Amino acid sequence: MKALKTVLYASRITSNIFYLILFIWMLPYIYDASWQGLLFIGTTIIYVGLTLWTLLKKKPIFKETISYNLIMIAVFFYFLLVTLRVLFDPRLQSTLYTLNMEYCRNNFFLLSIILIGMSLNTVLLALIESDKEEVPKKKRPV
């Protein structure tokens, strides 16, 4: 089980790096997507900031929570699918530019909602971890 947690944690870190690369690659489309794109940029900045914060904190809860790591990896794969569809689908690159932007707007809005949820989840996990540290351990009588 420890090996699975380590692999998932390493995969999460790797997927976050690729997420940033895809994000930079998609910036022209994100910026053109109206308020949904701006919301996505804002939530991504918060998401990246909290991810860096979790790396610097080095709390074990962020490494050991399997569901947390799996969801972060799934967010990357969802954004990867959107990116591949927008950048490499020849039907969307020709005359259907408006459909392309509507597709982007919808998916950027969905990704923003997911990233807001992940950010709140990160904060809650940090609060849970800090509550564990503050609880004094009871001494057993000998």
Q: In tens digits, what is the pLDDT along the chain, a chain of 142 residues? A: 888 888 988 999 999 999 999 999 989 888 888 899 999 999 999 999 988 888 888 878 878 888 888 999 999 999 999 888 888 776 665 655 555 678 888 999 999 999 999 999 888 888 887 766 655 566 666 6
| H or E element that contains 84 | helix 66-88
Whole-angstrom Cα Rg for the chain: 19
Q: What is the pLDDT of residue 89?
A: 72
Asked if residue 5 lies in contact with residue 76, where contact means CB atoms within 8 angstroms, the answer is no
CB within 8 Å of 109: residues ≥ 6 apart: 36, 39, 40
Asked if residue 86 lies in contact with residue 100, where contact means CB atoms within 8 angstroms, the answer is yes
Q: Which long-range contacts (CB under 8 A, 24 or more apart) does 34-37 make?
A: 34/105, 36/104, 36/105, 36/106, 36/108, 36/109, 36/112, 37/104, 37/105, 37/108
Q: How far apart, in whole angstroms, are the C-alpha atoms of residue 21 and residue 14?
A: 11
